[in-house]
Amino acid sequence: MTTKEETDTIVYDEAHFIQMLKDNDTEVFRDAFLSLHSYDQAQFYEKVGPDIRKLMYAILSPKEMADLYEGLEVDDDEYESYLKEMNTTYGAEMLSHMYTDDAVDVLNELDNHQRESYLEMMDEEVAGEISELLGYAEDTAGSIMTTEYVAIPENSTVRSAMTILRKEAPNAETIYYVFVVDDVHRLTGVVSLRDLIIAEEETLIRDIMNERVVMVHVDDDQEAVAQIMKDYNFLATPVIDNKGKLLGIITVDDIIDVIDEEASEDYSKLAGISDMDKFDMNPLQSATKRLPWLVVLLFLGMLTANLMGQFEATLEKVALLAIFIPLIAGTSGNSGTQALAVAIRGIATGDLEKENKFKLLIREMFTGMIMGVVCGLIIIGIVYFWKGELLLGMLVGAAICCSIIVATLAGSFIPLLMHRLKIDPAVASGPFITTLNDITSILIYLGLATVFLSQIG
């Protein structure tokens, strides 16, 4: 059995903590475990099984468990299984102690009946705040904001503002920005903690506040909010309604989660997957996620096969042409994917909003021409020295040159068009662009071959 005095000398790991729980070393476990960072606590909580977690529920208070949950980094659907391990009353109290935006994230993973059960057990005021946030559309500013912030009246003094700050700080997510409101709670300014500290106590807040406040609307898309906070390097940004009333704030930790979520979503679309696979999915679930795009691409592939059938006579006369089809299709697909990545990144970061779209297309066209000419000249030399066929080399080189130019333009134009039509450009996925470029490159290659067939023969 571990004594309290030994806690200063033992280097704890997962096995030590598990053993303490099994040995019922409650006091020693609490002292050691609660001294850890919330992230390390969460890592231990995630790794152990339900039996160990149930022992933790008996030792840690709902407030302490709420602090632990702030550091959890699990898939959203895992929250439901965790809550099922707890006594319902314990779970409701834990949710009450969490920041409202984090409690909303957990409750969103439950069905309506479970959600209502937890809300009924919570403090009425807390339940009301959470219910209000649950009403906002998913992926909007309202759905990720928190109501734990510090707001002070614009006609108050620095002294009274500091009194409010000391009172509200323990429950606020951040105190580095203090938001200023008028008599009807409309946002009128912001003052930093530094400004409050250095100002004279009798100074009026409206005399030192910054009136140029960058704010977001409650219905704004979370990705747009993330871009604003990135551009301005904010730790928090206020959220208002149509009347300018301050409803809540969005903090940088929530934006990091948004960026991670959006990046995963875009990556899955670029890979031609409807939603990102999770490692704990069974084969049937995983296949269901991937099949839709594969079926679409399968039909597009049949179009490629049918297109090649139209040039059957050409291929029969010069069978050597078929050798270079994978090379041309692959090269054009690669160049198209490169252009696609540049365009989507520009849209995602907002850089393209500051740049003329037509200039981008012109730049990509000339980039494609340079790459096409270089690759074309290289392949002419290779084919000539390999097969001794200069004319065939020129044909393959010309086809590669033209295919790269077209693929580069398509890779940049298609996402721009989709963005203009208010469609997520990430759906112009790599597989889609690659298949489209297969069709155009084969059409260019075999079309040129047919034109020059008499000379090649």
Q: pLDDT value at position 5?
A: 45
pLDDT per residue as tens digits for the range 353-395? 656 677 888 888 899 899 999 999 998 998 888 878 788 888 8
Give residue 7's pLDDT: 42
| Residue/partner pairs of 244-247 with CB below 8 Å, 24 or more apart | 244/186, 244/187, 245/184, 245/185, 245/186, 245/187, 246/149, 246/151, 246/179, 246/181, 246/185, 246/186, 246/187, 247/142, 247/145, 247/147, 247/218
pLDDT score at 410: 86
- Sorted by where each starts, the structural domains of the chain and their CATH numbers stand as 36-135 (1.25.60.10), 151-267 (3.10.580.10), 283-456 (1.10.357.20)
- 287-298 pLDDT, tens digit per residue, is 666 556 556 656
How high is the pLDDT of residue 141? Answer: 93
DSSP assignment string, 337-395: HHHHHHHHHHHHHTGGGGS-HHHHHHHHHHHHHHHHHHHHHHHHHHHHHHH--HHHHHH
Pairing of strands 236-240, 151-153: unpaired
Q: What is residue 438's predicted lDDT score, i.e. its pLDDT?
A: 79
Q: Which long-range contacts (CB under 8 A, 24 or more apart) does 437-440 make?
A: 437/329, 437/332, 437/333, 437/335, 437/336, 437/403, 437/406, 437/407, 437/410, 437/411, 438/301, 438/304, 438/329, 438/332, 438/333, 439/300, 439/303, 439/304, 439/307, 440/332, 440/403, 440/406, 440/407, 440/410
> What's the confidence (pLDDT) of residue 264?
62
Give the pLDDT of residue 11.
47
pLDDT < 70 positions in the chain? 1-12, 76, 262-320, 348-356, 423-432, 453-457
